[in-house]
Amino acid sequence: MSDESESVIVVRRIKRVTGHGHHGGAWKVAYADFVTAMMAFFLVMWLIGVGTREQKAAISEYFKNPSADPGTATIAPPGKMGPGGASDSAIQLGGAMDLPRGKGDDRRNTPPAMSKEAIEKQARAQEKARLDELMQQLHAAIQSSQALAPFKDQLLLDITSEGLRIQIVDKQNRPMFDTGSARLKDYTVDILHELSGFINRVPNPISISGHTDDAPYSSDHTYGNWELSADRANAARRALLEGGLQDSKIARVVGLAASVPFDRNNPSAAINRRISIVVMTQQAADAAKAPELGSKLPPLPQPIRSADTGAPTLTAPPPNKAI
């Protein structure tokens, strides 16, 4: 066979490349992940910028503590994700429309500011509620306590403009002190010890005043009813401290002699010999610490409400006068 008659056979091999090579779509998936991560990042930055301090603290606690008991776990509870995982407690952040729009604009998430008068009115109402509750507790104790029940007719409770007033009065044949002396009877000490525990239940300060009848103590003008009433008030103070009363709660101790009789119609009556303990309102305590404010206090009214302790109901005496 000649060379001219020989034919050349050419084999063409076609290589098929799947995925379009470097022009495939894998990069699109990576780019989408990147954009999603950036969107989440900027969303977090936006929340940090507009959130209040309380909301930021809640978010921080959410990621710090995945436990069902806030503030206690350092690892995830059984069946939960690790640190940074889901918490069992929802975070109460509210909707986005409730978030403040600018720096320092927290007013939309905080209650409106109260006026000074409204704050003082609310404080007085809370204080009166505390004193009312204390009076009811004392009344119940007087009725049920074996130590106090025998003397319920000598314990008088009422609420005045100065606060809750507790008066321990003399009774015929049952005085609180030795005759003409500042030495307390044993049962009077027991009464004061019992009262100290109740008085400690409220933060209010107290005032203690001693009273006598109008009988002359002696012809010696160096020591009379004024001195005796002051000594008796101090004896009551010491007994209250022995019973556990905090010393810092005592704002005033005074002796008033016979100047403020309980029974005005009978100045020599045994009931006029008494110790008066007032759990003071804050306004009365401020006036006691700054006498120049005393004129701002309203005049002492009739008792607002008295506890029925078995003693006769009498009108309130005029304001105390310190010696």
Q: Map out the domains of the chain as residue ranges.
A: 18-109, 116-306
Confidence of residue 96 (pLDDT cuts 50, 70, 90): very low
3-state secondary structure the chain: CCCCCCCCCCCCCCCCCHHHHHHCCHHHHHHHHHHHHHHHHHHHHHHHHHCCHHHHHHHHHHHHCCCCCCCCCCCCCCCCCCCCCCCCCCCCCCCHHHCCCCCCCCHHHCCCCCCHHHHHHHHHHHHHHHHHHHHHHHHHHHHHCCCCHHHHHHEEEEEECCEEEEEEECECCECCECCCCCCECHHHHHHHHHHHHHHCCCCCCEEEEEECCCCCCCCCCCCCHHHHHHHHHHHHHHHHHHCCCCHHHEEEEEECCCCCCCCCCCCCCHHHCEEEEEEECHHHHHHHHCHHHHHHCCCCCCCCEECCCCCCCCCCCCCCCCC
* Domain 116-306 CATH class label: alpha beta
Does residue 88 surpass a pLDDT of 50? no
Predicted TM-score (pTM) of the model is 0.56
- The neighbouring-strand residues paired with 275 are 168, 210
The percentage of residues in the chain with a pLDDT greater than 90, rounded to a whole number, is 28
Confidence of residue 110 (pLDDT cuts 50, 70, 90): low
Q: Which of 63-77, 144-158, 284-298 has the highest mean pLDDT?
A: 144-158
Please give the pLDDT value at position 319: 39
6-10, 138-142, 285-289: least confident range: 6-10
7-16, 57-66, 282-291: least confident range: 57-66
65-69, 101-105, 112-116: least confident range: 101-105
Please give the pLDDT value at position 20: 55
Does residue 321 surpass a pLDDT of 50? no
Does residue 28 surpass a pLDDT of 70? yes
Query: Residues with Cβ < 8 Å from 204, sequence gap 6 or more?
Result: 127, 130, 131, 163, 249, 279, 280, 281, 282, 285
Parallel, antiparallel or unpaired: strands 274-280 and 305-306 = unpaired
pLDDT, one tens digit per residue, over 183-212 is 999 989 999 998 998 888 888 899 999 999
Query: Would you mind telling me the total number of residues written for the chain in this entry?
Result: 323
76-104: average pLDDT = 46
Please give the pLDDT value at position 2: 54
Quote the CA–CA distance of 256 and 211 in Å, as a whole number: 5
The percentage of residues in the chain with a pLDDT greater than 70, rounded to a whole number, is 68
Please give the pLDDT value at position 19: 55
168, 176 Cβ separation under 8 angstroms: yes
Please give the pLDDT value at position 317: 42
Quote the CA–CA distance of 58 and 70 in Å, as a whole number: 11
